[in-house]
Amino acid sequence: MKQTIQLLDRPVTLKISSIAQRMLPYRDQPLLVEMELYFSCLIRKQVHFLNAMDCDIKTKINDQLTIGFRPVMTRICSVDSCNNEPPPVTDFPIHKAERYIPHWLTLDYSGEEWIGEFGYT
């Protein structure tokens, strides 16, 4: 399935694999998907599958799926911490956050795990 959703009035192409579509109704609760853009001494993109969503930028797709975007940062810059235990993060106050909304998000389900990726091209 492929559709366009809106985050901060910006279009995001959402692609959900056929197996992921089939797995959504089997969940006890909605799938909460957070696209995290991490700012520190490097930039990292991660997709998190959560039980509770704390981000302000989000949209409910349907009763089974909510998509969110959360820019975060750390107070210290430690490249080593990216390979081990992640450092605690805090929300990153971005001026004109709509400029950082990803262009696309893909969701899949494989090996009994949800998988996601997002990008800007």
How is the chain split into domains, by residue range? 2-119
- Rounded to whole angstroms, the Cα distance separating 116 from 79 reads 23
pLDDT score recorded for residue 43 = 84
Output the CA–CA distances (angstroms, integers) from residue 10 to 6, 64, 73, 79, in the order listed: 5, 22, 23, 32
Residue 104, Cβ neighbours under 10 Å: how many? Answer: 16
**pLDDT-based confidence at 39, cuts 50/70/90?**
confident
Q: What is the pLDDT of residue 95?
A: 83
Q: What is the pLDDT of residues 83-116, one digit of tens each?
A: 556 667 777 778 888 999 999 999 999 999 999 9
Tell me which of 4-8, 23-27, 35-39, 46-50 is least confident. 35-39
Higher per-residue pLDDT: 74 or 49: 49
pLDDT for residue 70 is more than 60? yes
pLDDT reported for residue 52:
92
Tell me: pLDDT of 81 over 90: no
